[in-house]
Amino acid sequence: MPGKIVEKKLESSPAEFVCGWGSAFVNITVTFPINKVMFRQQLSGVRTFPALRQLQTEGLSNLYRGFFPPLIQKTASMTLMFGMYYKCRNYLNKQYPQSSVFCNSVIAATFAGALEALLLPFERIQVLMQDKNYNHRFENARHAARELNSIYGMKEFYRGGSAILLRNCGSNSLFFLVRDYVMDTLPPPETVLKRTTQDFVCGAALGAFLSTLFYPVNVVKVKMQSKVGGTFESLLYTLKIVQEERNQSIRKLFRGVHINFTRSFLSWGIVNATYEFLMVNLFGRSSRRNN
């Protein structure tokens, strides 16, 4: 029938890397302004409208300030996330068929998440570029990177590494376990529209849930990375500081979570739908196995 999609069993190949990159490119371009509002709330603990007023006061010329570090980081991150997960999972399933699919999937997702953490310097620069306290100190991302390296050394690029490892490995494992199960359980779509809708809703709901679950980790990560120079505080120590600054309020620790939920819903919906769209239309394959 017209529009019917022929799906094939997913094999490990460069396709997953290419489609991971493409999905991230589309996503970061669309959602960057939303992410910037959320960042201000994470860093300062302010409500949505004050955060929006901050950006309005700074002008449109600063709206996409710091865009290229996350663009590079996110495209590379999604490339590793999807590509290395499927490559590692398929390798484990082939080499260790006696192991459970669950175990192999968790190992593969954790490995992919740990590799993503190598891109931490990009995320570190992004934090500095979005923090209004550094608007006049750093001209652009290149200037910030050059100053950090010349004054503090390469170690300074890796602040917040413990928070990023916890976030990446934990969220990756849950994301792929649930995503694989849901996409294999859903009825096979008969048209491109139905398929895209399923992929968007699956990615959106899962991404929004996981980003909310790990939101406090991101708050602590932003706090850790907003500091330049000095000692490297641990994850737990920084969490304690954040709690003290917010009067031990758990609610304030989640300040900005509704913006994060909205951004993540849209972001991961775009990522999942774009990834599957590219896989089917460029490579004639899909992540689904329920054909």
Name residue, tokens 């991150």. 77
At residue 5, the pLDDT reads 41
pLDDT in tens, 76-94: 999 999 999 999 999 999 9
At residue 9, the pLDDT reads 45
Q: Nearest to residue 162, comparing CAs of 131, 128, 127, 120?
A: 120
Domains and CATH numbers, the chain: 14-283 (1.50.40.10)
At residue 3, the pLDDT reads 40
At residue 289, the pLDDT reads 64
The full DSSP string for 114-151 is HHHGGGHHHHHHHHHHH-GGGTTT-SSHHHHHHHHHHH
CB 171 within 8 A of CB 240: no
Torsions phi, psi for 186 (to 5 deg): -60, 145
Measure Cα distances from 34 to 17, 30, 81, 101, 129 in Å: 26, 9, 23, 36, 15
| Low-confidence spans in the chain with pLDDT less than 70 | 1-13, 42-44, 60-61, 289-291
pTM of the model: 0.79
pLDDT in tens, 228-282: 988 898 999 999 998 888 877 777 788 878 878 988 999 999 999 999 999 999 9
At residue 255, the pLDDT reads 81
Beta strands in 85-213, from DSSP E residues, in sequence order: none
Q: Show the tokens assigned to 35.
A: 């992410």
88 vs 186: CA distance, rounded Å: 24
At residue 111, the pLDDT reads 96
Q: What phi-psi label fits residue 255: left (phi over 0), alpha (psi between -120 and 50 degrees) or beta?
A: beta
At residue 71, the pLDDT reads 86
Identify the burial level of 172 via C-beta atoms within 10 angstroms of its C-beta, where 0-12 means exposed, 13-18 middle and 19 or more buried: buried
At residue 81, the pLDDT reads 95
